[in-house]
């Protein structure tokens, strides 16, 4: 995959939103893949015992889905130079996440686009906030 | 409970191999019901495996710091990837406690982490995280 061309990227451009329903099965698969077997993600009774409404997705799984959305726009994950966010609200098992991003600046000298990125759930919660990503561009 | 005396503690996990099959497993877990977007690539957040997991395991196991996992919230995360990570790379990973602040019954632990290729010391991932530890009671 190839990087976006600098001349083809402008402030206000939006990535294609990525919507995905995150089932308990997917959370279980992410626990296996990441090695993070914290029971708040896997055991409903334990999650409730620590004050959660039920099991929740790993924040890093949500960030992974957001990174995928940015990577597709960027022409490959190798072009994603940075990504940051706040895990503001939990994403519950079975909820649907929608990841979005918009270009807010383009550095022509460095050939880098900066995007504001984030994600919300179908409950109306903003689950990933204060998100920023930078993407490497080609000439 | 973590306190300011723990600032500067470092947890090192040298020799982390970017195993293609593990990267593929993570890509599939991120994709869930959908096809993997970029087969064969290392997902950017595979840093969870080669950087966070092996160093955080040491942090969480540090009895002197005493983080209670049941009360732990991963509140913020940032990553930079100065160079792409490739399947088969071997990296040395570290996490350092950079700040600890107690406020309103919660302890805010700030971490900085870095992964560099073992062969040439090229930094492939740099990050920061904020963990919030809620006091039991």
Residue B39 in any domain: the answer is no
Residue A112 in any domain: the answer is yes
Burial degree of A137 (CB within 10 A; 0-12, 13-18, 19+): buried
Nearest residue, CB atoms, A35 vs list B45, B53, B69: B53
Q: B133 contacts in A (CB within 8 Å)?
A: none
Collapsing DSSP to helix, strand or coil, B132 comes out as: strand
pTM for the whole structure: 0.97
| Candidates B27, B73, B81, partner chain A, best to mutate (most A CBs within 10 A) | B81
Which is nearest to B51 in space by CA: A107, A21, A60? A60
* End-to-end Cα, chain A, rounded Å: 15
Token pair of B51, please? 């950087």
Mean pLDDT of all residues belonging to chain A: 96
What mean pLDDT is predicted for residues A101-120? 98
Indicate whether B136 pLDDT > 60: no
Separation of alpha carbons A33 and A31, rounded Å:
6
Nearest residue, CB atoms, B45 vs list A64, A72, A82: A64
CB-CB under 8 Å, B37 with A71: yes
CB-CB under 8 Å, B74 with A60: yes
Residue B11 in any domain: the answer is yes
Strands (E), chain B: 10-17, 72-80, 90-103, 106-117, 123-134
- The per-residue pLDDT for range B93-117, each reduced to its tens digit, is 999 999 999 998 899 999 999 999 9
Tell me if B89 sits within 8 A of A96, measured CB to CB: no
CB atoms closer than 10 angstroms to residue B121: 8
CATH, residue B96 = 3.10.129.10
Q: For residue B106, what are the domain limits?
A: 4-18+47-134
| Candidates A28, A68, A70, partner chain B, best to mutate (most B CBs within 10 A) | A68
At residue A102 the predicted structure's pLDDT band, cuts being 50, 70 and 90, is: very high
Q: How many domains does chain B have?
A: 1
Residue A31 in any domain: the answer is no
Nearest residue, CB atoms, B45 vs list A50, A63, A82: A63
Residue A120 in any domain: the answer is yes
CB atoms closer than 10 angstroms to residue A129: 16
Token pair of B99, please? 């700040």
Nearest residue, CB atoms, B45 vs list A22, A67, A72: A67
> What is the nearest CA distance from B111 to chain A, expressed in angstroms?
14
Residue A52 in any domain: the answer is no
Separation of alpha carbons B49 and B71, rounded Å:
22
> What is the nearest CA distance from B51 to chain A, expressed in angstroms?
11
Tell me if B29 sits within 8 A of A33, measured CB to CB: yes
Residue A19 in any domain: the answer is yes
Which is nearest to B10 in space by CA: B93, B96, B91? B96
Residue A15 in any domain: the answer is yes
Nearest residue, CB atoms, B53 vs list A36, A76, A81: A36
CATH, residue A93 = 3.10.129.10
At residue A50 the predicted structure's pLDDT band, cuts being 50, 70 and 90, is: confident
Q: B52 contacts in A (CB within 8 Å)?
A: 60
Q: Which residues contact B19 (CB under 8 A, 6 or more apart)?
A: B87
- The per-residue pLDDT for range A85-99, each reduced to its tens digit, is 999 999 999 999 999
Separation of alpha carbons B104 and B137, rounded Å:
13
Q: How many domains does chain A have?
A: 1
CB-CB under 8 Å, A64 with B76: no
CB-CB under 8 Å, A63 with B78: no
Residue A105 in any domain: the answer is yes
CB-CB under 8 Å, A78 with B84: yes
Residue A28 in any domain: the answer is no
Residue of B nearest to A24 (CA): B32
Tell me if B30 sits within 8 A of A64, measured CB to CB: yes
| pLDDT at residue B78, rounded to an integer | 98
CB atoms closer than 10 angstroms to residue B7: 14
Q: For residue A97, what are the domain limits?
A: 6-23+57-136
* Sign of torsion over alpha carbons A53, A58, A64, A66: positive
Collapsing DSSP to helix, strand or coil, B6 comes out as: helix
């Amino acid at each position: 995959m190839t990087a976006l061309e600098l001349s083809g990227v402008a402030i206000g451009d939006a990535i294609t939103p990525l919507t995905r329903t995150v089932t308990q099965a997917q959370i279980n698969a992410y626990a296996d893949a990441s090695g993070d077997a914290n029971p708040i993600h896997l055991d409903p009774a334990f999650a409730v015992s620590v004050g959660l409404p039920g099991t929740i997705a790993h924040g890093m799984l949500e960030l992974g889905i957001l990174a995928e959305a940015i990577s597709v726009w960027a022409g490959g994950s190798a072009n994603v130079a940075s990504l940051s966010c706040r895990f503001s609200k939990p994403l519950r098992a079975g909820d649907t996440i929608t990841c979005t991003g918009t270009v807010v600046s383009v550095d022509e000298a460095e050939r880098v686009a900066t995007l504001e990125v984030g994600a919300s759930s179908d409950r109306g919660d903003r689950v990933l906030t204060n998100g920023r990503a930078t993407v490497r561009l080609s000439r | 409970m973590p306190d300011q005396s723990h600032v500067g503690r470092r947890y090192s996990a040298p020799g982390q191999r970017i195993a293609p099959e593990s990267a593929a497993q993570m890509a599939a877990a991120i994709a869930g019901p959908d096809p993997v977007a970029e087969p064969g690539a290392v997902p950017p957040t595979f840093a969870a495996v080669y950087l966070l997991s092996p160093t955080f395991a040491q942090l969480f196991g540090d009895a002197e710091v005493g983080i209670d996992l049941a009360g732990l919230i991963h509140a913020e995360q940032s990553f930079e990837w100065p160079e792409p990570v490739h399947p088969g790379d071997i990296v040395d990973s570290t996490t350092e406690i950079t700040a600890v602040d107690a406020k309103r019954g919660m302890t805010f632990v700030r971490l900085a982490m870095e992964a560099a290729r073992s062969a040439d010391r090229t930094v492939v991932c740099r990050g920061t995280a904020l963990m919030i530890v809620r006091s039991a009671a």
